[in-house]
Structure 1
Amino acid sequence: MSPYTLEEVVSRNYLLNDYPDAIINLIDGTNLERNLYLTTQIIELGIPVVLAINMMDVVKKNGDRINVQQLEKEFGCPVVQTSAVKGVGSKEAAYKAIELAEKEEALVPKPIFSKPIEDTLETISALIHEQVDPIRSRWYAIKYFERDEKVLAAHSLPDHVLKNAETTIREAEDRMEDDSESIITNERYEYIEQIVRHSVHRHEKKLTISDRIDRVVTNRFLSLPIFIAIIWFVYYVSVTTLGSIVTDWTNDTLFGTWVTEGATNLLNAIGTADWLNDLIVDGIISGVGTVLGFVPQ
């Protein structure tokens, strides 16, 4: 709800100015931590919300479980499990949104921040309540606390209100030893982390053979000795034992006897000149054989 692109500005202006009857907030069930950040902001608008958790087919496939009842208790709104791929849950989410719209009851957001910040928000709400929509006074208080430039520009508050609000904000920043926007961001994520910890049960995945090997070879104490041992082993095999045997066989037997004698007999049979025989056998074939002999090493 802090827009940066034109599309985000249009979306926020619609939610603020056109007063939708209800909102279906579609989130990714495989990444709740990231998606629930926007959810907490939407709920603060006071508009009835249906939380639709999509990709539940993937969540179940991964062996994870999401406690829908716990999420409903935390956010105070209906929660529906959906799967766009399988076409599950979309109608239920729409019906619940219609039910909420017909009730015409504003969603009352619950306090999610620490007590010092909640006290500060209450003070700001009391200062600006005459200039903003009462239903959204909490949302506006948070935006004023964050010093949201677009919100500040949209409302012409009296100077004494702005001065008192700024004093309150600075006191909170000094108490928390951080800037106001970072305070809100950090406490939102702490709240979301707590919700996810209580509502999502992750399936403990078994380590694959590759994972087990990685744990050993990337160990902070064993990685360097293992690396040195592997390099020594490769050098020993390629130069001292197997590599030396293959190189000797390539130089002495393959190119030293078989290929050379075969090429000589073939050239003599077709009657090529001696200088051409020497060029092909002693020059080209011997040269290529010498180079290929180093390949095993």
Structure 2
Amino acid sequence: MPTRASLALLWPYAAWEAHGAATGEWRTLTFYDVVPAHCRGRVSNMDVANVAGDMFFSTKDKYLAVACPSCLANKSCHGAATFDCTNPESTGQLVVRQLSVEVLAFGDAYSLCDVWPHHGECEYSCFAPPGHKGPGVGRERVCAGGSWRACGMAPDPSPVVPFRHAWDYWNWNIASRFGNSGGGEWYSLTAADEGLHWRNASVVKAIDQACQARAFDGLVVSRGAACFEACPQPANRSSECWVDCFFETLLGPGAATTLKPPGAQTGAMDVGHLADAWLSGLRHDDPAKGGCPPLSALLPVP
């Protein structure tokens, strides 16, 4: 069974929003993110998430090895499912961080904070899409379904067959599982809001992303052992067979061809169990216990 602690981390702020935020109370909250290893010493102008929100972000990256080669070749990785093919927070040497941040209030002014192509290395800046207004730390719920305007991170797959791919369904179903069902949220810690709506951010623990993924991936592989063992290369995480097994196991049968909204997720793995595995590397330092040793905020990753 998932622990009470892991379930509380999936939906951690509802009680505070109903009471503390209305009275102007600063509250110390826990967030998570995935960043390039050499950028792990900074927090301002970055997007962060709760557990389910960051599970969505890191889980969808599992299919990039299959989805990206064709669109990278013709420079067309612009769809919701393939946007991260060129995202420095999805490829290369990555670090997963647990952050402690004091927050005064949340608002709907969520901003896209990233290292844009015309900026320098680790030079993050934020862009607020039209309609995202209001005071407070920007927040966006992880969602699946509808049009680009209704849900830009996981819109419905194209009705045109040549433009509809397995990864469009995987992206949609991951967002549905960790967002619509799991309560995943993203937050933007813009520099302009520092001191006004958030303050005193610190890195509680930073760990190598490859280490952090072992417990999560291991749980999925153990659950779907028969499928993975039938692959020509059972340990090749870049193969179509391995990726397909991963999402068939995590999301349930038909995950590559069928949309699975809440109430239609039969066979999907329990979000609380997955959260326990995802958090294991941050909770423990000892690899024998599923943990990961902490990295210095400044030194290179070994």
TM-score, reference length from structure 2: 0.28
Q: Could you say which structure has the higher helix fraction?
A: 1
Structure scoring higher RCO (CA < 8 A, sep ≥ 6) equals 2
TM-score, reference length from structure 1: 0.28
Larger Rg: 1
